[in-house]
Chains A and B, each alone.
Chain A
Amino acid sequence: MLGQLITSGVSTGALYALTAIAVVVVFRNTRTINLAQGDFSMIAAFIAVMLLKSGFSYSQALACTVAFTILLGILVERLVMRPIADADWLTLFTATLGVYYIMHGIAGWLWGRDTKAFPYTFDPTPVHTFGTVISVGHLLNIGWAAAIGAVLFVFFKFTKQGVAMRAVTDDPETARLMGIPVRFIVLLTWGMAGFLGAFAGILLAPILYVSPQMMDEVLVKGYVAAVFGGLYSIPGAIIGALMIGVAENLAGGYLGSHYKTATAFVMIVVLLALRPQGLFGIQKRREI
């Protein structure tokens, strides 16, 4: 049972990581705490359900949904975030809250507020490895997350846009002076948030079932994971997400399912109380 709890924890943790990474990237490029990240996933899940029900194949639905959600991210950046781009962090945060409300309202209005099942299941034959049982679904989640992680790694390290984005993260003023199109990078950032959100939503849909509120808890867990990386480090966020996935599964298995949700919160309170800069966060200069 322990093995199963752990593998299933790693699998969900990998999906939480997608949300956590999106949150980190948006925050460090634009100082915005994006509350709407979960809803990118939620809308993606609904769109995927719609497409699957209309007869699209899984891969077709996936591709279309991802494309749509990227555009959604860009739309949010242009309409909502750009007019307030220079505001303080509370204003930026509250704007994403506004987007959250709007997306929830639209989803509820278009598709109703009750939960729906995801109309696609994978081959349920479990795979036996390492002495435990892993389902194909788990393997696929971990697989996708790892693949996306690899793509991001390559992106940030080797592509022009990725390096430019790291420059903007580090010092937007200097980046601008060096001719880096900061506005475009911000656009790219929000597109990336949509991209990651889409995958998180489609992959989590079979587990969480599809409803407007499906991603609410995941969003919070994504943030807790992101804080493990000081809201700055992607590897930190990934590790945090995996830790949350495993810890909550263990808590749920051994203490009871009511304690599952609380695990992330206990972790964050303990973390912030003991190590405010996150496990991997940056040390600030010692000025009073």
Chain B
Amino acid sequence: MVNKTSMSRKSVEVTNHAAMTKLKRRFSSQNAGLILLMFFILLALPFIPGFKPWMANQLSLVLVYVIAAQGISILTGYTGLVSVGHGGFLAIGAYTSALLVKYTGVDIAIAIVASACMAGAFGFMLGLVFLRLSGPFLAIGTLGFAFFIGTLINNVPFFEGREGISLPVNKFMGVVLSDVSFYFLGLGFFALVTLFIFSFVRSSVGRSLMALRDAEKAAQSCGVNRFFYRMLAFTVSATITGAAGALSGFSVRYVSAEVYSDIWYSVDILVAVIVGGSAMMMGPIVGGTFVALLPFLLETLADLSFILKGLILIAVLIFAPAGICELIARPFQRWRQLQIESVGKETLVNAPSAVMHQH
């Protein structure tokens, strides 16, 4: 004899599962679609009439901030560890690239990858030294690191810090890059980093980091080794920001200690993810753009831009503490959650009649 209740329960689960999978796929493609749209717009910008080459330079600079912010988001957003020293990785990236190209003439793409790795190595070492510190002390330690790197490039003659390193034209695959083509190269790296983060966040690694961030003891009881994963986060974060640093050097073809020993880059990178949102894909993009463009929007009134920056920062902290993107995304996420919950209820209502019809 067929047990009707258990049969209907099973088919409810099956139908449920299918509907849920379809819904989740839809959400995923919506997310991907938004990011693709953004890339399309960025690619199309240089083709809009009235676009001047110096604008490409400006956009490249914005990309630098965005990628640097993406780097810090891995550590601060997904892992919950605050760093006020990411400018140090920016400097390491810039200097490694500059020295490589000046003395060995390598292709800039290779230089960028090498710089990223160098920054990653430094990130690894920094993690080893400072990870046992808690929140604010870790932040102070990273600030000390940034100062240390700044002093290093300022005072050790090897880095030619004071005079600065002037770079020849950018060569990629043997071709000399104009400002616009360099911008496209920058977009290429931005796309790579974005793709990586997309995969990273959805992977078991991203999941483990967020678990450590939200409920450390529970994560440990699941087997997530705190030290290993934090070191991983530190290293990956430093690598990405290092790549941004390399790009920044190439975009203006001049690397000097005066610029790269400035602590304010470290602060700006952190501010970018605090304003934009540190644990979301669009967060570093929005935040990085804000931090990069603000001084330019108020070029004549530099003091006003400072005041505005402070006011916006405080306003964000009071009204949108998890970042602007999180605030904007909240109604969409709530709507999605409701859709998910209603899928469960719907199929429960429809299932019994479906089963009866089959008889």
Contacts and interface: CB of A to CB of B under 8 A. Distances in A.
A and B touch in the complex (CB under 8 A): yes
A87 interface: yes
B274 A90 contact: yes
Given A97-B271, A265-B144, A265-B151, A108 B82 contact: no
Contacts of A220: 143, 147
A83 B318 contact: yes
Interface residues of A, number: 39
Contact of A276 (B137, B271, B318): B137
Contacts of B270: 94
B164 interface: no
A272 B133 contact: yes
B155 interface: yes
Given A33-B136, A89-B136, A90-B274, A109 B307 contact: yes
Interface string A10-33: 000000000000000000000001
Contact of B140 (A80, A109, A223): A223
B129 to A, nearest CB: 5
Contacts of A101: 306-307, 309-310, 313
Nearest to B270: A94
Interface string A69-104: 000000000001001100101110111011111111
Contacts of A261: 151
Interface in B84-127: none
B197 to A, nearest CB: 21
Interface in A241-284: 258-259, 261-262, 265-266, 268-269, 272-273, 276
Nearest to B275: A94
Chain B, interface size category, equals 35 or more
Nearest to B267: A97
Contacts of B135: 89-90
B147 A262 contact: yes
Given A33-B136, A265-B151, A276-B132, A104 B144 contact: no
A108 B151 contact: no
B237 interface: no
* Chain B contact residues, majority secondary structure: helix
Contacts of B151: 261-262, 265
A24 to B, nearest CB: 13
B154 interface: yes
Interface string B307-332: 11111011001100100000000000
B314 A98 contact: yes
Interface in A122-167: none
Contact of A106 (B144, B307, B318): B307
A227 interface: yes
B82 to A, nearest CB: 6
Given A105-B307, A261-B151, A91 B140 contact: no
B27 interface: no
Interface in A56-72: none
A94 B317 contact: yes
A21 to B, nearest CB: 17
B234 interface: no
A100 B144 CA distance: 20
A152 B102 CA distance: 57
B311 A90 contact: no
A272 B140 contact: yes
Interface of A: 33, 80, 83-84, 87, 89-91, 93-95, 97-106, 108-109, 113, 220, 223, 227, 231, 258-259, 261-262, 265-266, 268-269, 272-273, 276
Given A84-B317, A265-B151, 15 more contacts: A90-B82, A94-B271, A100-B310, A101-B310, A101-B313, A104-B303, A105-B304, A105-B307, A105-B309, A106-B307, A109-B303, A227-B137, A262-B151, A268-B140, A268-B144
30 contacts: A33-B136, A33-B139, A80-B314, A84-B321, A89-B136, A90-B274, A91-B317, A93-B136, A94-B274, A95-B314, A100-B310, A101-B307, A102-B307, A102-B311, A105-B304, A105-B305, A105-B306, A105-B308, A220-B143, A227-B137, A231-B136, A258-B154, A262-B155, A268-B141, A272-B133, A272-B137, A272-B140, A272-B144, A273-B129, A276-B137
